[in-house]
Protein backbone atom coordinates (compact mmCIF):
# COMPACT_ATOMS: atom_id res chain seq x y z
CA UNK A 1 0.00 0.00 0.00
CA UNK A 2 2.98 2.31 -0.21
CA UNK A 3 2.74 5.23 -2.58
CA UNK A 4 4.31 8.60 -3.21
CA UNK A 5 1.80 11.25 -2.21
CA UNK A 6 3.43 13.82 -4.43
CA UNK A 7 2.37 11.79 -7.50
CA UNK A 8 -1.21 12.76 -6.71
CA UNK A 9 -0.85 16.30 -5.39
CA UNK A 10 1.57 19.19 -5.23
CA UNK A 11 2.97 21.07 -2.31
CA UNK A 12 1.44 24.45 -1.92
CA UNK A 13 4.07 25.76 0.51
CA UNK A 14 7.37 24.19 1.40
CA UNK A 15 7.39 24.71 5.16
CA UNK A 16 9.33 23.45 8.16
CA UNK A 17 7.72 22.65 11.49
CA UNK A 18 9.02 25.79 13.15
CA UNK A 19 6.74 27.80 10.89
CA UNK A 20 3.54 26.09 12.04
CA UNK A 21 2.90 28.60 14.79
CA UNK A 22 3.01 31.34 12.15
CA UNK A 23 0.98 29.41 9.61
CA UNK A 24 -1.92 28.33 11.80
CA UNK A 25 -4.85 30.65 12.41
CA UNK A 26 -3.89 32.50 15.62
CA UNK A 27 -7.23 31.87 17.29
CA UNK A 28 -6.59 28.14 17.14
CA UNK A 29 -3.13 27.91 18.73
CA UNK A 30 -2.69 27.33 22.46
CA UNK A 31 0.99 26.44 22.65
CA UNK A 32 3.77 25.29 20.38
CA UNK A 33 7.04 23.46 20.93
CA UNK A 34 9.69 22.91 18.32
CA UNK A 35 12.92 21.24 19.56
CA UNK A 36 14.13 20.20 16.11
CA UNK A 37 13.61 21.98 12.83
CA UNK A 38 12.58 19.75 9.89
CA UNK A 39 10.69 20.04 6.64
CA UNK A 40 7.04 18.93 6.55
CA UNK A 41 7.18 16.59 3.56
CA UNK A 42 4.12 14.46 4.20
CA UNK A 43 1.29 13.71 6.62
CA UNK A 44 1.22 10.78 9.04
CA UNK A 45 -1.65 8.77 10.50
CA UNK A 46 -1.50 6.59 13.61
CA UNK A 47 -1.39 3.61 11.20
CA UNK A 48 1.39 4.86 8.97
CA UNK A 49 4.02 7.14 10.44
CA UNK A 50 6.30 8.92 8.01
CA UNK A 51 9.58 10.72 8.60
CA UNK A 52 9.42 14.51 8.34
CA UNK A 53 5.68 14.76 8.59
CA UNK A 54 2.81 16.19 10.57
CA UNK A 55 0.40 14.06 12.64
CA UNK A 56 -3.04 15.19 13.87
CA UNK A 57 -4.56 13.19 16.73
CA UNK A 58 -6.30 13.48 20.06
CA UNK A 59 -5.22 9.99 21.12
CA UNK A 60 -1.69 8.66 21.51
CA UNK A 61 0.00 5.67 23.16
CA UNK A 62 3.26 6.06 25.05
CA UNK A 63 4.94 3.74 22.50
CA UNK A 64 4.49 6.36 19.83
CA UNK A 65 6.42 9.03 21.68
CA UNK A 66 9.88 7.81 20.77
CA UNK A 67 8.91 7.21 17.14
CA UNK A 68 7.53 10.71 16.83
CA UNK A 69 10.61 12.28 18.38
CA UNK A 70 13.10 10.20 16.40
CA UNK A 71 11.18 10.39 13.12
CA UNK A 72 10.77 14.14 12.98
CA UNK A 73 6.99 13.97 13.27
CA UNK A 74 5.32 17.16 14.41
CA UNK A 75 2.30 16.31 16.56
CA UNK A 76 -0.86 18.47 16.53
CA UNK A 77 -3.48 17.83 19.19
CA UNK A 78 -6.26 19.50 21.15
CA UNK A 79 -5.78 17.01 24.01
CA UNK A 80 -3.73 18.85 26.65
CA UNK A 81 -3.23 15.70 28.74
CA UNK A 82 -1.19 14.07 25.95
CA UNK A 83 1.11 17.05 25.90
CA UNK A 84 1.49 16.91 29.67
CA UNK A 85 1.86 13.14 29.89
CA UNK A 86 4.36 12.46 27.10
CA UNK A 87 7.66 14.18 26.49
CA UNK A 88 7.09 15.25 22.93
CA UNK A 89 9.86 17.22 21.23
CA UNK A 90 7.68 18.85 18.61
CA UNK A 91 4.01 19.62 19.00
CA UNK A 92 1.29 22.22 18.60
CA UNK A 93 -1.53 22.28 21.13
CA UNK A 94 -4.68 23.65 19.47
CA UNK A 95 -8.22 24.50 20.48
CA UNK A 96 -10.03 22.48 17.82
CA UNK A 97 -8.34 19.57 16.07
CA UNK A 98 -10.62 19.33 13.02
CA UNK A 99 -10.53 23.04 12.26
CA UNK A 100 -6.76 23.10 12.76
CA UNK A 101 -6.48 20.14 10.39
CA UNK A 102 -8.48 21.96 7.69
CA UNK A 103 -6.55 25.17 8.25
CA UNK A 104 -3.05 23.67 8.12
CA UNK A 105 -3.59 21.06 5.40
CA UNK A 106 -5.18 23.69 3.17
CA UNK A 107 -2.10 25.84 3.70
CA UNK A 108 0.46 23.08 3.06
CA UNK A 109 -1.08 20.78 0.39
CA UNK A 110 -3.19 21.00 -2.73
CA UNK A 111 -5.68 18.36 -1.66
CA UNK A 112 -8.65 19.16 -3.84
CA UNK A 113 -9.56 16.13 -5.92
CA UNK A 114 -11.04 18.21 -8.70
CA UNK A 115 -9.38 17.84 -12.07
CA UNK A 116 -6.54 20.31 -12.35
CA UNK A 117 -6.93 21.95 -15.75
CA UNK A 118 -3.39 23.25 -15.59
CA UNK A 119 -2.55 19.57 -15.86
CA UNK A 120 -2.28 18.20 -19.41
CA UNK A 121 -4.94 15.81 -20.60
CA UNK A 122 -5.23 13.42 -23.51
CA UNK A 123 -8.56 12.81 -25.16
CA UNK A 124 -8.46 9.14 -26.16
CA UNK A 125 -11.61 7.38 -27.42
CA UNK A 126 -13.55 10.24 -25.85
CA UNK A 127 -11.99 9.65 -22.42
CA UNK A 128 -10.14 12.41 -20.58
CA UNK A 129 -6.81 11.02 -19.31
CA UNK A 130 -4.19 12.99 -17.37
CA UNK A 131 -0.72 12.93 -18.90
CA UNK A 132 0.48 12.35 -15.33
CA UNK A 133 -1.43 9.05 -15.09
CA UNK A 134 0.39 5.80 -15.82
CA UNK A 135 -1.66 3.17 -17.64
CA UNK A 136 -0.27 -0.13 -18.96
CA UNK A 137 -0.85 -0.43 -22.74
CA UNK A 138 -2.68 -3.78 -22.31
CA UNK A 139 -5.39 -2.04 -20.29
CA UNK A 140 -8.65 -0.94 -21.97
CA UNK A 141 -10.16 2.45 -21.11
CA UNK A 142 -13.65 2.65 -22.59
CA UNK A 143 -15.26 5.95 -23.72
CA UNK A 144 -16.32 8.87 -21.51
CA UNK A 145 -14.00 7.99 -18.63
CA UNK A 146 -11.96 10.49 -16.68
CA UNK A 147 -8.57 9.40 -15.27
CA UNK A 148 -6.89 11.87 -12.95
CA UNK A 149 -3.33 12.91 -12.08
CA UNK A 150 -1.10 10.24 -10.53
CA UNK A 151 -3.45 7.33 -11.19
CA UNK A 152 -1.61 4.06 -11.88
CA UNK A 153 -3.33 1.20 -13.71
CA UNK A 154 -1.59 -2.15 -14.20
CA UNK A 155 -1.83 -4.83 -16.87
CA UNK A 156 -4.92 -6.22 -18.52
CA UNK A 157 -7.47 -4.07 -16.67
CA UNK A 158 -10.81 -2.97 -18.15
CA UNK A 159 -12.14 0.44 -17.13
CA UNK A 160 -15.67 0.53 -18.53
CA UNK A 161 -17.51 3.54 -19.95
CA UNK A 162 -18.32 6.67 -17.98
CA UNK A 163 -16.23 5.74 -14.96
CA UNK A 164 -14.16 8.31 -13.06
CA UNK A 165 -10.88 7.30 -11.41
CA UNK A 166 -8.85 9.77 -9.35
CA UNK A 167 -6.20 9.33 -6.66
CA UNK A 168 -6.08 5.59 -7.18
CA UNK A 169 -3.58 2.76 -7.74
CA UNK A 170 -4.89 -0.31 -9.56
CA UNK A 171 -2.86 -3.50 -9.91
CA UNK A 172 -3.43 -6.05 -12.72
CA UNK A 173 -6.44 -7.86 -14.19
CA UNK A 174 -8.99 -5.54 -12.57
CA UNK A 175 -12.43 -4.78 -14.00
CA UNK A 176 -14.11 -1.50 -12.97
CA UNK A 177 -17.60 -1.41 -14.48
CA UNK A 178 -19.58 1.54 -15.84
CA UNK A 179 -20.49 4.78 -14.07
CA UNK A 180 -18.26 4.13 -11.04
CA UNK A 181 -16.59 6.88 -9.01
CA UNK A 182 -13.27 5.69 -7.59
CA UNK A 183 -11.06 7.95 -5.48
CA UNK A 184 -13.28 10.97 -4.92
CA UNK A 185 -13.35 12.85 -1.59
CA UNK A 186 -14.88 11.04 1.38
CA UNK A 187 -17.69 12.28 3.60
CA UNK A 188 -15.57 13.67 6.41
CA UNK A 189 -16.38 16.86 8.27
CA UNK A 190 -17.16 18.29 11.65
CA UNK A 191 -20.87 18.54 12.50
CA UNK A 192 -20.25 21.93 14.10
CA UNK A 193 -18.73 23.32 10.94
CA UNK A 194 -20.75 22.14 7.99
CA UNK A 195 -20.73 22.77 4.28
CA UNK A 196 -18.67 22.18 1.18
CA UNK A 197 -16.19 24.88 2.26
CA UNK A 198 -15.44 23.00 5.47
CA UNK A 199 -15.12 19.43 4.26
CA UNK A 200 -12.05 17.84 5.86
CA UNK A 201 -9.21 17.65 3.34
CA UNK A 202 -8.84 14.14 1.95
CA UNK A 203 -5.35 13.57 0.63
CA UNK A 204 -5.18 9.76 0.67
CA UNK A 205 -5.86 7.36 -2.17
CA UNK A 206 -7.71 4.18 -3.17
CA UNK A 207 -5.52 1.09 -3.54
CA UNK A 208 -6.92 -1.95 -5.37
CA UNK A 209 -5.09 -5.28 -5.70
CA UNK A 210 -5.02 -7.83 -8.53
CA UNK A 211 -8.05 -9.46 -10.05
CA UNK A 212 -10.70 -7.32 -8.30
CA UNK A 213 -14.11 -6.94 -9.95
CA UNK A 214 -16.15 -3.77 -9.25
CA UNK A 215 -19.74 -3.68 -10.58
CA UNK A 216 -21.54 -0.74 -12.15
CA UNK A 217 -22.41 2.55 -10.40
CA UNK A 218 -20.19 1.89 -7.35
CA UNK A 219 -18.35 4.51 -5.31
CA UNK A 220 -15.08 3.98 -3.44
CA UNK A 221 -13.88 7.10 -1.62
CA UNK A 222 -10.21 8.01 -1.22
CA UNK A 223 -8.78 7.81 2.30
CA UNK A 224 -8.45 10.87 4.45
CA UNK A 225 -4.68 10.30 4.84
CA UNK A 226 -3.57 6.75 3.91
CA UNK A 227 -5.40 4.29 1.62
CA UNK A 228 -8.88 2.88 1.16
CA UNK A 229 -7.97 -0.70 0.28
CA UNK A 230 -9.61 -3.54 -1.70
CA UNK A 231 -7.75 -6.86 -1.42
CA UNK A 232 -7.06 -9.19 -4.35
CA UNK A 233 -9.80 -11.22 -6.08
CA UNK A 234 -12.59 -9.35 -4.27
CA UNK A 235 -15.90 -9.14 -6.11
CA UNK A 236 -18.23 -6.15 -5.67
CA UNK A 237 -21.69 -6.09 -7.24
CA UNK A 238 -23.49 -2.91 -8.44
CA UNK A 239 -24.35 0.24 -6.42
CA UNK A 240 -21.89 -0.52 -3.61
CA UNK A 241 -20.54 2.27 -1.42
CA UNK A 242 -17.10 1.92 0.18
CA UNK A 243 -16.34 4.92 2.38
CA UNK A 244 -12.96 6.50 3.16
CA UNK A 245 -10.30 4.46 4.98
CA UNK A 246 -12.10 1.12 4.62
CA UNK A 247 -9.73 -1.88 4.51
CA UNK A 248 -11.38 -4.81 2.72
CA UNK A 249 -9.42 -8.07 2.72
CA UNK A 250 -8.91 -10.41 -0.20
CA UNK A 251 -11.61 -12.65 -1.72
CA UNK A 252 -14.51 -10.54 -0.47
CA UNK A 253 -17.85 -11.15 -2.18
CA UNK A 254 -20.35 -8.33 -1.65
CA UNK A 255 -23.83 -8.23 -3.20
CA UNK A 256 -25.50 -5.11 -4.58
CA UNK A 257 -26.39 -1.89 -2.75
CA UNK A 258 -24.29 -2.66 0.31
CA UNK A 259 -22.64 0.26 2.10
CA UNK A 260 -19.51 0.10 4.24
CA UNK A 261 -18.93 3.14 6.44
CA UNK A 262 -15.68 4.93 7.05
CA UNK A 263 -12.63 3.22 8.59
CA UNK A 264 -14.19 -0.25 8.79
CA UNK A 265 -11.54 -3.01 8.70
CA UNK A 266 -12.59 -6.34 7.19
CA UNK A 267 -10.56 -9.55 7.04
CA UNK A 268 -10.32 -11.98 4.15
CA UNK A 269 -13.10 -14.01 2.49
CA UNK A 270 -16.05 -11.87 3.59
CA UNK A 271 -19.38 -12.95 2.10
CA UNK A 272 -22.01 -10.23 2.33
CA UNK A 273 -25.55 -10.22 0.97
CA UNK A 274 -27.10 -7.19 -0.67
CA UNK A 275 -28.31 -3.98 1.01
CA UNK A 276 -26.11 -4.61 4.04
CA UNK A 277 -24.90 -1.64 6.06
CA UNK A 278 -21.79 -1.69 8.27
CA UNK A 279 -21.35 1.12 10.81
CA UNK A 280 -18.15 3.11 10.95
CA UNK A 281 -14.84 2.09 12.56
CA UNK A 282 -15.83 -1.58 13.13
CA UNK A 283 -13.51 -4.59 12.85
CA UNK A 284 -14.81 -7.61 10.96
CA UNK A 285 -12.74 -10.83 11.08
CA UNK A 286 -11.83 -13.39 8.41
CA UNK A 287 -14.36 -15.76 6.81
CA UNK A 288 -17.35 -13.76 8.06
CA UNK A 289 -20.80 -14.21 6.48
CA UNK A 290 -23.34 -11.37 6.68
CA UNK A 291 -26.92 -12.07 5.58
CA UNK A 292 -28.62 -9.70 3.13
CA UNK A 293 -30.14 -6.47 4.55
CA UNK A 294 -28.22 -6.81 7.83
CA UNK A 295 -27.15 -3.75 9.76
CA UNK A 296 -23.82 -4.44 11.47
CA UNK A 297 -23.27 -2.32 14.56
CA UNK A 298 -20.60 -4.30 16.45
CA UNK A 299 -17.27 -5.95 15.69
CA UNK A 300 -17.49 -9.50 14.31
CA UNK A 301 -15.04 -12.30 15.15
CA UNK A 302 -13.46 -14.65 12.60
CA UNK A 303 -15.73 -17.33 11.08
CA UNK A 304 -18.96 -15.80 12.44
CA UNK A 305 -22.23 -15.68 10.56
CA UNK A 306 -24.58 -12.82 11.37
CA UNK A 307 -27.95 -11.50 10.24
CA UNK A 308 -30.61 -8.92 11.08
CA UNK A 309 -30.47 -5.39 12.41
CA UNK A 310 -28.70 -4.93 14.70
CA UNK A 311 -26.84 -7.93 13.31
CA UNK A 312 -26.61 -10.91 15.68
CA UNK A 313 -25.59 -14.57 15.39
CA UNK A 314 -27.34 -15.95 12.32
CA UNK A 315 -28.92 -18.93 14.07
CA UNK A 316 -30.22 -16.78 16.93
CA UNK A 317 -31.57 -14.26 14.44
CA UNK A 318 -33.47 -16.94 12.54
CA UNK A 319 -34.94 -18.22 15.81
CA UNK A 320 -35.96 -14.72 16.86
CA UNK A 321 -37.79 -14.30 13.56
CA UNK A 322 -39.79 -17.46 14.11
CA UNK A 323 -40.53 -16.45 17.70
CA UNK A 324 -41.67 -12.95 16.73
CA UNK A 325 -44.14 -14.37 14.23
Q: Where in the sequence numbering do the catalytic residues fall? A: 244
Q: How many residues bind a second copy (CB under 8 A)?
A: 80
Q: How far apart are CA 157 and CA 180, in angstroms?
A: 15
Asked if 126 interacts with a second copy (CB under 8 A), we say yes
User: What is the pattern of x (binds a second copy, CB under 8 A) and - over residues 20-39?
Assistant: --------------------
Give whole-number Cα distances, 267 to 124, 139, 230, 286, in Å: 38, 29, 11, 4
Asked if 98 interacts with a second copy (CB under 8 A), we say no
**Rounded to the nearest whole angstrom, what is the least distance from the CB of residue 112 to a second copy in the complex?**
8
**Rounded to the nearest whole angstrom, what is the least distance from the CB of residue 282 to a second copy in the complex?**
12
Q: How far apart are CA 183 and CA 168, in angstroms?
A: 6
**Rounded to the nearest whole angstrom, what is the least distance from the CB of residue 249 to a second copy in the complex?**
12
Give 83 or 246: the residue with its C-beta nearer to a second copy.
246
Nearest to 296 by CA among 246, 251, 235, 239: 246
Q: How far apart are CA 213 and CA 211, in angstroms?
A: 7
Asked if 235 interacts with a second copy (CB under 8 A), we say yes
| Dihedral sign of CA atoms 319, 320, 324, 325 in order | negative
Q: Give the footprint of a second copy on residues 268-307 (CB under 8 A).
A: 271, 274-275, 277, 279, 292-293, 295
Q: Give the footprint of a second copy on residues 140-179 (CB under 8 A).
A: 140, 142-146, 158, 160-162, 164, 173-175, 177-179
Beta-carbon contacts of 74 under 8 Å, excluding residues fewer than 6 positions away, are 17, 20, 34, 38, 40, 53, 54, 55, 90, 91, 92
By CB under 8 A, name the one of 181, 283, 287, 305 that touches a second copy.
181
By CB under 8 A, name the one of 77, 90, 92, 185 that touches a second copy.
185
What are the backbone angles phi and psi of residue 56, rounded to the nearest 5°? -105, 125
By CB under 8 A, name the one of 30, 80, 122, 194 that touches a second copy.
194
Q: How far apart are CA 249 and CA 231, in angstroms?
A: 5
**Rounded to the nearest whole angstrom, what is the least distance from the CB of residue 172 to a second copy in the complex?**
10
Options 53-61, 64-72, 82-90, 254-262: segment touching a second copy (CB under 8 A): 254-262
By CB under 8 A, name the one of 33, 51, 107, 128 that touches a second copy.
128
By CB under 8 A, name the one of 213, 287, 305, 314 that touches a second copy.
213
Q: Give the footprint of a second copy on residues 48-87 (CB under 8 A).
A: none
Nearest to 279 by CA among 253, 250, 246: 246
Options 24-32, 46-54, 84-92, 204-212: segment touching a second copy (CB under 8 A): 204-212
Q: How far apart are CA 23 and CA 13, in angstroms?
A: 10
Asked if 216 interacts with a second copy (CB under 8 A), we say yes
| Secondary structure class of 97 (helix, strand, coil) | helix
Query: Is the separation of the CB atoms in 109 and 103 below 8 Å?
Result: no
Amino acid sequence: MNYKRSDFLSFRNKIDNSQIDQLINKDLLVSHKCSENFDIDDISSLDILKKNSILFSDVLDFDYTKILNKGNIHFVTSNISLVKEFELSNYSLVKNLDISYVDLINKIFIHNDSIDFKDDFLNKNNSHISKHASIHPSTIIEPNCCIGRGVKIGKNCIIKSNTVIKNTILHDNIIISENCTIGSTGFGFNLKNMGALNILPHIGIVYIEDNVFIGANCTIDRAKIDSTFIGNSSMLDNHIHIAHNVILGSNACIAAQTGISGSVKIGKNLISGGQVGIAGHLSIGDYVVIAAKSGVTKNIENNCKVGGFPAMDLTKWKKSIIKNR
